[in-house]
Chain A
Amino acid sequence: MNREDGETDRRRRFGVLCESLRPDLLRFAFWLGRDRQLAEDVVQEAMLRAWKSFDALEDEERAKPWFLTIVRREFARSFERKRLPLADLDLLVTTEAEVLAAEDDEQLAAMRQALFRLDDEYREPLVLQVMMGYSTKEIAAMMGLQQGAVLTRLFRARARLRQELGLAPEPAP
């Protein structure tokens, strides 16, 4: 394969990965930051960084966690760079109402709002577990936490959601 063919192949492979992963990366970035514009910006920048370091990805089977790590880092960079202010939660819910809406499904809409209102430290591991399908061990590695801490956060996340949705509290053993 000559140099030009190699470059074409590299672009094709990257393009295929981007297309397949982009929807989940966008969803992840949205639930991380609770802001669609920020989500879009973060994913765009992350894609550019990923392209520049694509040769560092040794195993394309591991592309998803690799991209997620880049998105998380880009998100942290955005916060640092832009010094994003702490947003009023009610205002966020209103601003992002279009994304949170679930036509004809009140329970779904209520769950979206409850997830939106979860503290960052509970929401992120829950998204990684339920939406992305990662184990608690993998989540701990991604977030730089002990596995026990991840388990605690996931437990509390679900307890908060049950409370927010007015579900029966956990039955006493």
Chain B
Amino acid sequence: MMNCLDFRRQVGAEPAAGGPEFDAHRRECAACARHQDELRALDGLIARALAVDPARIRRPAAGAGGGPATRRRYFAIAASIVVGLSVGLVLLVSAPRASIAREVVDHVVHEPGTMNLLVPVAAGALAGVLDPEGTRLRPGIGDVTFAARCVHQGHVVPHLVVRMPEGAVTVLLLRHREIDEPVQIAEQGLEGVVFPAPRGSIAIVGQGLKDPARVAQKVFEAVDWGV
């Protein structure tokens, strides 16, 4: 037979505890039954409290990378890359930056069919891909004909294909990859750039683009980072 001390020790650790012994004691002791009910209600409140919105966890703390100064910095980077790429400047590529370019190329080359789609994706589908990142694409950049969350180097990243007047452009939002400077991509027929972004980096690549630098800048400016 369970006594009050044993009952309360157990339900204090496991409020959901039940079974014949517990039921029998609850019938015998109204105070213990009330105590277990209060603990179960408390657990309900604990569960609600623990269920914080993941989007709030992912949003950077105020002053930790958002705000107008950050936006100006990234637009400045976008402008500088146009100049750098347009005059054919070759960026010094250290091993880590070479690897990010290769990772992007490997990803795009591995999914060749994505560049050939013509039907725009539904707005809801696009939102489903971008919403977890807290980002969105401003209208007017072109039709998004492919939008998916893909595995890239062990991380799930948004992968878009945008049909612009200049051609089809692949966009990868690489939240997990911080880089300090833009990295040019020019291999396996793909041209583009990886920019630092308010969250991680963004890769913008295409094939046979007339002015890849200009295209990359337009795409970069079309992404609303929510900062």
Contact = CB atoms under 8 A, between A and B. Distances in A.
A64 interface: no
B110 to A, nearest CB: 8
Contacts of A152: 13
A166 interface: no
The A interface, classified by DSSP as helix, strand, loop or mixed, is helix
B8 interface: yes
Interface residues of B, number: 43
Given A19-B156, A151-B13, A27 B50 contact: yes
A158 B15 CA distance: 10
B47 A131 contact: yes
A103 to B, nearest CB: 11
A22 B54 contact: yes
Contacts, number: 126
Interface string B38-50: 0100110111111
B156 A155 contact: no
A162 interface: yes
Nearest to B31: A171
Contacts of B8: 170, 173
Interface in A35-59: 36-37, 39-40, 44, 47-52
A151 B15 CA distance: 11
B12 A158 contact: yes
Contact of A111 (B32, B49, B62, B150): B49
Contact of A170 (B12, B15, B176): B12
Given A26-B54, A47-B154, A111 B9 contact: no
B57 A36 contact: yes
Given A31-B50, A39-B57, A155 B12 contact: yes
A173 B150 CA distance: 57
Nearest to A18: B156
B83 interface: no
Contact of A18 (B5, B59, B151): B151
Interface in A1-41: 11-12, 14-15, 18-19, 22-23, 26-27, 30-31, 36-37, 39-40
B64 interface: yes
Given A37-B61, A130-B43, A170-B35, A159 B149 contact: no
Contact of B47 (A26, A130, A154, A159): A130
Interface of A: 11-12, 14-15, 18-19, 22-23, 26-27, 30-31, 36-37, 39-40, 44, 47-52, 95-96, 98-100, 102, 107-108, 111-112, 115, 126-127, 129-131, 136, 150-152, 154-155, 158-159, 161-162, 167, 170-171, 173
